[in-house]
A and B are shown apart, each in its own frame.
Chain A
Amino acid sequence: MVADRQSGKSGNGAEPKASAKSATMTNRKMFATMLWGAVFRRRSRAIMAVIAVLVGAATLFCLAAVCIAVPQQMNEEMRAYGANLIVTPRESGSKSNGIDSADARNVTALVSGEYGAKTAAYRYESVRINSAPYTLAGITTADVKALNRHWNVTGDWPSAGNVMLGRDVADALGVRIGLRITIGYRASDNGGASSASGALGKTESEVKQDGRVSSSIMETSGTEFRVAGIVDTGGNEDEIVYAVNADVAKLAGSKRGADVIEYSVNAVGSDLDAIVKSLNANPNTGVKAQTVTKITSSDTRIIAMLQTLFWIVSLVVLVLTLVGVGTTISSIVSQRRNEIGLRKALGASAHAIGTEFYVESAIYGLVGGLIGTALGYLLARVLCQTVFDRAIGFNWPLGLASLVLSVLLAVLASVPPVRRATRIDPAVVLREE
Chain B
Amino acid sequence: MLLELDHICKIYGELHAVDDLNLTVPQGQWLAIVGSSGSGKTTLMNMIGCMDTPSKGSVKLEGRKLEDLNAKQLADVRKNMIGLVFQKFYLVPHLTAVENVMVAQYYHSVVDERQALEALERVGLKDRAHHLPSQLSGGEQQRVCIARALINCPKIILADEPTGNLDEKNEKIVLDLFRQLHEQGTTIIVVTHDALVASCAEREIMLNHGVLVGEKWNDEEARKAYEAAGGKPAFTGSVAEGAQHGETAIDFADPTKSAKTGGSEK
A: residues with CB less than 8 A from B are 1-3, 5-6, 8-13, 15-16, 19, 23, 26-27, 29-31, 33-34, 37-38, 41-42, 338-339, 342-350, 352, 425-428, 430, 433
* 24 A–B contacts, CB within 8 A, in A order: A1-B118, A1-B122, A2-B153, A5-B110, A6-B152, A8-B110, A11-B79, A11-B108, A15-B110, A26-B111, A27-B111, A38-B94, A41-B132, A339-B93, A344-B75, A345-B84, A346-B148, A347-B79, A352-B107, A425-B53, A427-B43, A427-B49, A427-B52, A430-B90
**Known pairs A5-B108, A8-B110, A33-B102. 18 more at Cβ < 8 A?**
A1-B115, A33-B95, A34-B92, A34-B95, A34-B99, A41-B95, A41-B132, A42-B94, A339-B93, A344-B78, A345-B49, A346-B79, A346-B148, A347-B76, A347-B78, A347-B104, A425-B51, A426-B51
CA distance A33 to B106 in the complex (A): 11
Nearest B residue to A344 via CB reads B75
| CA–CA, A350 and B71, complex, Å | 9
Q: Contact: A30 with B102, CB < 8 Å?
A: yes
**In the complex the two chains form, is A339's CB within 8 Å of B53's CB?**
no
How long is the Cα–Cα vector from A352 to B76 in the complex, in angstroms? 12
Residue of A nearest to B47 (CB): A427
Contact A16 B109 (CB under 8 A): yes
Which residues of the other chain, A, contact B90 by a CB distance below 8 angstroms? Answer: 338, 342, 345, 430
Q: Cβ of B27 < 8 Å from any Cβ of A? A: no
Known: A11-B79, A339-B92, A425-B52. A346 touches B103 (CB 8 A): yes
Query: What is the bound-complex CA distance between A5 and B119, given in angstroms?
Result: 14
List A contacts of B88 (CB < 8 A): 433
- Top 10 nearest A-B pairs (CB, nearest first) are A347-B79, A8-B109, A427-B46, A427-B51, A41-B94, A427-B52, A37-B94, A23-B110, A30-B111, A347-B78
A5 near B52: Cβ-Cβ < 8 Å: no
From 218 to 264 in chain B, residues with beta carbon under 8 angstroms from any chain A beta carbon are none
For residue A419, give the distance in angstroms from its CB to the closest CB of chain B: 12
B71's closest neighbor in chain A, by CB?
A350
Q: Which A residues are in CB contact (< 8 Å) with B86?
A: 430
Would you give the shortest CB distance from B185 to chain A, in whole angstroms? Answer: 12
Is B105 positioned at the interface, with any CB of A under 8 Å from its CB? yes
- Shortest Cβ distance from B54 into chain A, in angstroms? 11
A81 CB to nearest B CB, Å: 61
Give min CB distance, A243 to chain B, whole Å. 81
Chain A nearest CB from B83 CB (Å) reads 9
Number of A-B contacts (CB under 8 A): 138
Chain A residues touching B, majority SS:
helix
Residue of B nearest to A342 (CB): B90
Residues of B within 8 A of A15 (CB): 109-110
A13 to B99, CA, bound (A): 14
What is the distance, in angstroms, from B112's C-beta to the closest C-beta of chain A? 7
Instruction: Give every chain B residue within 8 A of A343 (Cβ-Cβ).
Output: 92, 103, 107
Instruction: Report if B199 contacts A (CB, 8 A).
Output: no
Please determine whether B109 and A5 come into contact, CB atoms closer than 8 angstroms.
yes
A426 CA to B80 CA, complexed, in Å: 16
Name the A residues within 8 Å of B132 (CB-CB).
41
**Chain B proximity of A410: nearest CB distance (Å):** 19
Q: Are A12 and B110 in contact (CB under 8 A)?
A: no
- CA of A339 to CA of B103, assembled, Å: 12
* Distance in Å: Cβ of A162 to nearest Cβ of chain B: 79
CB–CB A347/B153 < 8 A: no
- Nearest opposing residue in chain A for B115, CB measure: A2
Bound: A29/B99 CA distance, A? 11
Interface readout for B50-83 with A: 1 if CB under 8 Å, 0 if not?
0111000000000000000001100110111000
The distance in angstroms between the C-alpha atoms of A349 and B108, with both chains bound, is 10
Of chain A, the residue at the smallest CB distance from B45 is A427
Q: Identify A13's interface contact among B49, B107, B112, CB under 8 A.
A: B107
CB of B101, distance to nearest CB on chain A (Å) = 11
B103 & A34 in contact (Cβ 8 Å cutoff)? yes
Provide the bound-state CA to CA distance between A29 and B110, in Å.
11
CA A1 – CA B152 in complex, angstroms?
Answer: 9
A433–B89 Cα distance when bound, in Å, is 12
Contact A5 B80, CB 8 Å, known A344-B75, A349-B72, A427-B51: no
**Cβ–Cβ contact A3 & B153, under 8 A:** yes
Chain B residue at minimum C-beta to C-beta distance from A42? B94
Q: Which residues of A contact B92 (CB under 8 A)?
A: 34, 37, 339, 342-343
- A-side contacts of B46, CB under 8 Å: 425, 427
Q: How far is the CB of B81 from chain A (nearest CB, A)?
A: 9
| B78 neighbours in A (Cβ, 8 Å) | 344-347
B76 contacts A29, CB within 8 Å? no
Is B125 part of the contact surface with A, judged by Cβ < 8 Å?
Answer: no
Flag if B94 contacts A1 (CB, 8 Å). Answer: no
| Chain B residues within 8 Å of A30, by CB | 99, 102-103, 105-106, 111
Task: Tell me which residues across on chain B come within 8 A of A19, comparing CB atoms.
Answer: 109-110
* Interface contact B111-A347, CB-CB below 8 Å: no
A347 to B84, CA, bound (A): 10
Residues of chain A within 8 A of B152, CB atoms compared: 2, 5-6
Contacts of A13 on B, CB cut-off 8 Å? 106-107
In this assembly, does B151 line the interface, its C-beta being within 8 Å of a C-beta of chain A? yes
In this complex, what residue of B is CB-closest to A1? B118
Q: Which residues of B contact A41 (CB under 8 A)?
A: 94-95, 132
Of B43, B95, B148, B153, the contact of A6 (CB 8 Å cutoff)? B153
Least Cβ–Cβ distance between B47 and chain A, in angstroms = 8
Check if A26 sits within 8 Å of B84, measured CB to CB: no
A37-B95, A343-B103, A349-B75 as given contacts; A5 in contact with B51, CB under 8 Å: no
Within 8 A of A (CB), among B141-188: 148, 151-153
A34 to B122, CA, bound (A): 24
Give the distance to chain A from B243, nearest Cβ to Cβ, in Å: 25
B122 to chain A, nearest CB (A): 7
Bound CA–CA A344/B96 (angstroms): 19
Inter-chain contact B95/A5, CB cutoff 8 Å? no
The CA of A13 and the CA of B103, in the complex, are separated in Å by 9
Q: Are A37 and B111 in contact (CB under 8 A)?
A: no
